[in-house]
Amino acid sequence: MPSQSQSIFEDYVKKHNLEILPDDKKKRGNCKLILQGKCECGNVVQKAYRQFQKTGCVCWTCIQLSQNSSRIERGKARRQKRLEQESITGVFQCPQCKEMKPLHENTRQQEFKRLCISCGKHRNDDEHYLKHIVRNAQYRTIERNKSGRQHVFDIDIQYIEELWKGQNGKCYISGIAMQLKTTSDWQCSIDRVDNNKGYLKGNIRLICLEFQHGRHQWDIDLYRSFCCLYTGRTIPNHDEQEFISKKVKEAQTCSSFRLRKIPVMSQMLNQCTQCDEILDNDNFSAQSMKCKSCLDQYTATRRLTLNGYMRNLVNSARSRTNDRDNKRTISKRENNTFDLSVNDLYEIYLKQSGRCHYSGICMRINGPFQISLERMDVFRGYSRNNIVLICDIFNSPVFLLNSNDTSRGSSQWNSDKIKIMIELCSDRIENIHPLPITCFDTFKDIISPINQTLTQLSIDSIIDDFKENKEWCKVKDRRTEYGVKMKDFIQNVRHGRVHINEEQRKQLLTHDPLFFENKRIVFREYNMTEKVDFLVEYFIMQKKWPPQSHISVDGFRIGLFKTNTQRNPPKTMSIHDREKILKCDPLFFS
């Protein structure tokens, strides 16, 4: 006797005259979605808004997207036919005023912008621009929801106008007067405070398009940090030039990946050169002598070096060039060539002395001030003469139709824009302390040992103030979690539940008290080093630096570390024991 759900399913098939074979999984899945009231995109559709088709239950969002795509295709066909007629007659019809105008009165010689000059001026008013950015935000919300996110769009043009009046037409971050014109400097843009949420009231702010960045979101703290670095920048001296040259030579002599040979009947070819494990061919990449897990860890570590980071920049630029060639974009009609190598980046890096081309501050390998490629002309490809190195926060999106579309400006950064931003910095942010950070800080934390010490009273007051900070509480909770993972790791190794060398497993099974005692000493020393670095970064970001006027950053770091280690002096440990511990603890010291 068939079940109730099976009978409902058969009744639905007969009602809509669907022919479903026993092995037709796609149609059976669509019918199950219909019975559950779900669309193919995963959205639950109410009964009053359901539209049944032979393929399944479709929500109104998918219906509108399908209608828009078909309407766009029909519009392209009509536009192509109209362009052929206009090229013969020499006149075009403005869709706004419905008058016939000569082709030279077109606002933009593009196939999708056909307004005359008078109508184009009227359409580019303030109200139309605000409607334009609201529609773009709604479209981005729909695109994000396609990937499985559940973002909500709850803003309108009235709310944006109130927000514009509340900010007095100025950028929320920098205080620069924004423009309500397309292809202009400092044009207005909608920014979300919390990117995990959608465009909600209270979660958005109006900023300049130059401050829109995908990886590193601009905020007041980042704005203050940049102002401190910019005001404290110095001219590179001879020592810095030699240091940069030395680092570049070391990066050029680094070894690259070794190509993996074709596997044969030999265990050595299937043995990882990192963990010495003998694995199957599926656990290896095509061109690596390391297994996939070790390769991921090696790649992440290599990207923190100058050689690995520069190679990653070149590979990313090459992939972006290939993507533009595969798509019908403006770059395909322009000069979209790729002629760039790692040695070219090294030469540019030496020429700029490791400084940003726009701001002149030292670039890093990670963080918001990391090295990034910038094309001076966005309509040309990646070549040696068109590339400069800048900080990543100044690599903003540029929306231009063609190379002649820069009459009013663009969202691309330059040196003049940074000077304008710095002029307004003192009016918006108080207590700007210049930070003269040189290129030495890019590659190492301590420049040279400085014999400066702190008084015990100042250290105690700083630590007491720091313990009340919420960020330090998060660090302590994270350390507690790591400690639990450490115990689980040791237990798993003892019982053979993880991949590890037999020699290391025997060391853990011996219950050697010296081994575990030294392990705790190393972990305490590592924890203290991280605590001191976190203290320095915290006081620099909070603008409470320096605690004493005669103490430098390096002196504070060294003096604080020495004072804390003297309170709890670590026991002596041989170099062999230390190396053995570091190799056996991938959780903390990888």
- Considering the domain architecture, whether residues 473 and 544 belong to the same structural domain is answered as yes
Specify whether 387 is located in the same domain as 324: yes
Q: How far apart are CA 378 and CA 25, in angstroms?
A: 48
Strand partners, 116: 106
Number of H helices, E strands in the chain: 22, 10
Instruction: Please tell me whether residues 156 and 82 are part of one structural domain.
Output: no
Task: Determine the 3-state secondary structure of 391 from DSSP.
Answer: strand
Q: Cβ of 340: how many Cβ atoms within 10 Å?
A: 21
The verdict on 141 and 197 lying in the same domain is yes
475 and 537 share one domain: yes
d(CA 71, CA 357): 45
pLDDT 10s digits, 230-265: 877 777 777 778 888 888 887 777 665 544 444 443
Side-chain half-sphere exposure of 542, counting CA atoms within 13 A: 15
Q: Per the structure, how many domains does the chain have?
A: 5
Q: Which residues contact 540 (CB under 8 A, 6 or more apart)?
A: 225, 228, 435, 553
Indicate whether 144 belongs to any domain: yes
Q: Domain check: are 347 and 461 in the same one?
A: no
Question: What does the pLDDT read at residue 415?
Answer: 85
Helix (H) or strand (E) holding 162: helix 157-166
Please tell me whether residues 245 and 388 are part of one structural domain.
yes
Are 501 and 584 within one domain? Answer: yes
Gap between the Cα atoms of 147 and 497, Å rounded: 36
How is 284-350 classified by DSSP, letter by letter? B-TT-SSBHHHHHHHHHHHTTSHHHHHHHHHHHHHHHHHHHHHTTSHHHHSEEEEE--HHHHHHHHH
Q: What does the alpha-carbon distance between residue 466 and residue 556 come to, in Å, rounded to a whole number? A: 15
3-state helix, strand, coil in the chain (%, to 5): 50, 10, 40
Low-confidence ranges of the chain (pLDDT < 50): 1, 20-26, 47-56, 107-112, 258-268, 328-333, 444-459, 462-463, 465-467, 498-500, 510-512, 514-517, 519-523, 525-526, 538-574, 577-578, 580-590
Return the pLDDT at 580: 46
Q: Are residues 459 and 544 in the same domain?
A: yes
At 399-450, the pLDDT tens digits run 765 555 555 677 888 888 888 888 887 666 665 556 656 665 555 432 222 2
Q: Are residues 453 and 489 in the same domain?
A: yes
Residue 496, domain extent: 447-589
CB 309 within 8 A of CB 365: yes
Q: Are residues 109 and 136 in the same domain?
A: no
User: Within a domain: residue 227?
Assistant: no
511 and 582 part of one domain: yes
pLDDT of residue 206: 92
